[in-house]
Amino acid sequence: MAKRKIKATTVSKKDANKKQKSGFLKSIGFFFSTLFSNPNCVEGRKKPWYTALIVAIASCFVATLATMVNYFSRSGAAFFDLPNYSLDTSLTDFEKALDDNGVSMKIENGKMSVNAEEWKKVCKDNEGNQKNFYGHYYTVNKVTLKQESGAASDALPTVPTSETITYCDLAVYFVDNTTLAGKTTYQYAAEVILKGEDPNFSILANTTSKDFATNLIVFGENEFSAFKKPAGTETVNSAINGKYDFGVNFDLKDLYKQNMKGHAYDSNAMTAARRADVLASYKLFFAAAYESTKTIMAWQYTGIAYAINFGLVFLFGLMIYLMTRGKNNPFREYKFIDGLKISAWASITPALLALLGFLPFFASFSMFIFLFLMGMRIMWMSTRTLRPYLPQQQ
């Protein structure tokens, strides 16, 4: 009798294991079926609420992956991508000016220090007038057409007139904390310099300067900001903010002869090879300085993207609930939590397709792919599976 009881118990355990295995396989099959079947997504309302929550959390994470990776893979060196508006030439001349005049811009323990009197040595325009920034100047012979003397007011301009104009294609500031007065270098540049409120920087406020590129770098004691201002526009083309917290001490003037890690150049001074070396050193410098800023921004945008995606799942769940509130709607028995469950199960496919954001063509739209596809699926579901005249889902 005892042996028979043990045998019966053993059979029961095997049956339970088979049943459990069968249930697991059914769950896997149901999961994959929701990728393409809207009716199965609706059936997901019968699953436990915590299952739908796990699905929603996982889907939103997958939908955010492309955005997260895109932001974390950015580099400060990209600031110098073409077009760089002659930054290779202007930065090399800036470095040469620092080296020739012995102007030190040391970065030690995350802080830049510059002697104010030394800095004045390189802060002069092409006529020798004192400024409070280094300017890289060049002259352009500009030819315009004017009306012939005595011609009618509506006559076309036909007389060529030439004038020589001096422009600044790079301006470099050093602004101490006292001058910043609590502002960041980015704020100071945007609110003071780029608006033309600095009397010593009238070259940017000049109405003709919009026809030519003016790049700007503002170094502060703890961080810096750089701007590319392309020709033909008054708006900034590209901007970057970096900090000196990368753990390497060096003098900015040494970048004329070596990079920030102390590796000397093989190129001769004032050659194309030297300009390439200096630009490469600035790329290394900007990449290192941008790391902490990039990390903070990447996590911020990732968090925002995830919150938006999760909010969309909730919003579309609410939408499903409201769409089934009609007096004679056969789906009126669906509760609010049922709408949320349906939305959660419907989010899997849009989340997987949001991985298209890893492709270069879709990278700039990575934050919107999930929104668009999720909206399309819910619309498709509402016009097919949840149409009021369809038989009620059991």
Q: What is the 3-state secondary structure (H, E, C) of 30-43?
A: HHHHCCCCHHHHHH
DSSP-derived letter for residue 205 is H
Residue pointed to by tokens 């970057």: 240
225, 194 contact by CB (below 8 A): no
Residue-level pLDDT at 242: 93
Beta-strand pair 159-174/215-219: parallel
- Summarised one tens digit per residue, pLDDT across range 198-243 is 665 554 444 444 555 678 899 999 999 998 876 555 566 688 999 9
Q: What are residue 223's phi and psi, to 5 degrees?
A: -160, 175
- Domain boundaries defined on the chain: 82-288
Beta bridge partners of 140: 165
Beta bridge partners of 90: none
Residue-level pLDDT at 229: 76
Beta-strand pair 238-243/134-146: unpaired
Residue type, 230: P
Calpha distance 297→239 (Å, rounded): 14
Residues of the chain with pLDDT under 70: 1-24, 145, 147-148, 150-155, 157, 159, 196-213, 230-237, 388-394
Of how many residues is the chain composed? 394
- Summarised one tens digit per residue, pLDDT across range 83-117 is 888 899 999 999 999 999 999 999 999 999 999 99
- CA atoms lying within 13 Å on the CB side of residue 233: 8
Q: Is the peptide bond before 83 cis (omega within 30 degrees of 0)?
A: yes
Residue-level pLDDT at 8: 47
Q: What are residue 222's phi and psi, to 5 degrees?
A: -115, -20
Residue-level pLDDT at 197: 65
Residue-level pLDDT at 126: 77
The answer for residues whose C-beta is within 8 angstroms of residue 125's C-beta and 6 or more apart is 131, 135, 137, 166
Residue-level pLDDT at 52: 92
CA separation, residue 283 to residues 236, 259, 269 (Å) = 19, 10, 19
- Residue 356, sorted as left (phi over 0), alpha (psi -120 to 50) or beta, turns out to be alpha
Residue-level pLDDT at 151: 65
79, 236 contact by CB (below 8 A): no
Cβ neighbourhood burial of 11 (10 Å; 0-12, 13-18, 19+): exposed
79, 329 contact by CB (below 8 A): no
Residue-level pLDDT at 205: 43
Q: What is the pTM (predicted TM-score) of this model?
A: 0.77
291, 246 contact by CB (below 8 A): yes
**In 10 A of CB 119, how many CB atoms?**
20
- Give the residue from 112, 114, 107, 113 showing the smallest Cα distance to 249: 107
Residue-level pLDDT at 282: 95
101, 108 contact by CB (below 8 A): no
- CA atoms lying within 13 Å on the CB side of residue 380: 13
